[in-house]
Amino acid sequence: MLATDVKRLRWLGIDMRSRERRRVAVLVTYAAFLVAVWVHPRRTYQVVWVLFYAGFTSSFWPALEEATGKWTRRAIAGLALLFAAWVLWEPPLRRHIDPAGFDGAMFTVATLAVMSVVGVGRLVDTGYAGWMANAMRKGAKLSWRGQQRLARRGFLYGLEGFAWNEYGMRFRDLNDEQRLAVEKMQRACPQGKWMTGMERKLIDDERMRHEDDHVRAMVQRTMSFVIGCSAMAWSWAAVSGWKVDAEVIAAWAWTVFALAITLRQAWVLWTEPDPREMAGEMELLRS
């Protein structure tokens, strides 16, 4: 699912809540990636460097907005761009880089998977594995860290969970009186206890887990289609006696690898509606 924080739904300063804007960004991103890996025209590596550096600096922008003033942010951005330009055009630093070969392809894939609009952990939240339900099923096998994690999310379970909620400490660090109080709470709620107003968290977590399972299934079907078509194309080329250049095979491998990493994010960006529309629909339902 899309990130719920509005600040996270910005990429290079662009508001990405609009689904149409996200779709354009996904298409442009993949088109640029294919050109860089398959064609790699002149100065491709330099352009990828600029994009990587822009994405890298933009990840620090929210923190800079809270901690610094306007002119300080501009100065930091200017220094970052000057450093990027120096790295790009300084001959000693570019001497051992092959922009059209392994280095260029690897760096392009890294930029796509980390800094682009379909980068992992940027605009799309990581998958939900229903960890709360799984942790609750473990019961007595749950570690003290797991009990504290559940307590932070609103479900109190075990001595460690009640101890952390009541005193903010581990059970073993409590004094005798505090231990007796925690043990009494745990005996009164052997199956655990939801904090007030937190009961829906588990339901929401399970719903998001099912949504993520659906997205992963669509990604798996898409990747199966891509790999199947690739296998038929390679087989046809072999039967026809075509001589396939090693560079073509490398570009194909990098492309499949990039799809495997980014397709889940791209699918969510392509299909998820505008969060503002969803908020409007929820307001209508409430009224």
| β-strand pairing of 155-156 with 14-15 | unpaired
Phi then psi dihedrals of residue 97, to 5 deg: -110, 135
When mean pLDDT is compared across 2-6, 27-31, 170-174, the lowest value belongs to 2-6
Per-residue model confidence as pLDDT tens digits over 163-222: 988 898 898 899 999 999 999 988 888 878 877 655 555 555 556 667 777 888 888 999
Q: Average of pLDDT values for 52-57? A: 68
Which amino acid would we find at residue 70? K
Residue 212's contacts (CB-CB under 8 Å, 6 or more residues apart) are 1, 127, 128
Report d(CA 279, CA 92) in Å as an integer: 53
Report d(CA 85, CA 205) in Å as an integer: 45
Report d(CA 84, CA 267) in Å as an integer: 32
* 71: pLDDT strictly greater than 80: no
Per-residue model confidence as pLDDT tens digits over 72-119: 766 776 777 777 667 666 554 454 455 555 667 887 888 888 888 888
DSSP state of 125: P
Q: Average of pLDDT values for 275-287? A: 53
Q: Where are the domains of the chain?
A: 6-128+200-286, 131-194
Distance of CA 279 to the CA centre of its chain: 23
Residue 194's contacts (CB-CB under 8 Å, 6 or more residues apart) are 154, 155, 156
Phi then psi dihedrals of residue 156, to 5 deg: -95, 125
Compute how many other C-beta atoms are within 10 angstroms of the C-beta atom of residue 128: 18
DSSP state of 139: G
DSSP state of 124: B
Which amino acid would we find at residue 78? G
Furthest C-alpha separation in the chain: 83
Single out the residue of 103, 96, 226, 202 nearest to residue 154, CA to CA.
202
Compute how many other C-beta atoms are within 10 angstroms of the C-beta atom of residue 2: 22
Report d(CA 135, CA 141) in Å as an integer: 9
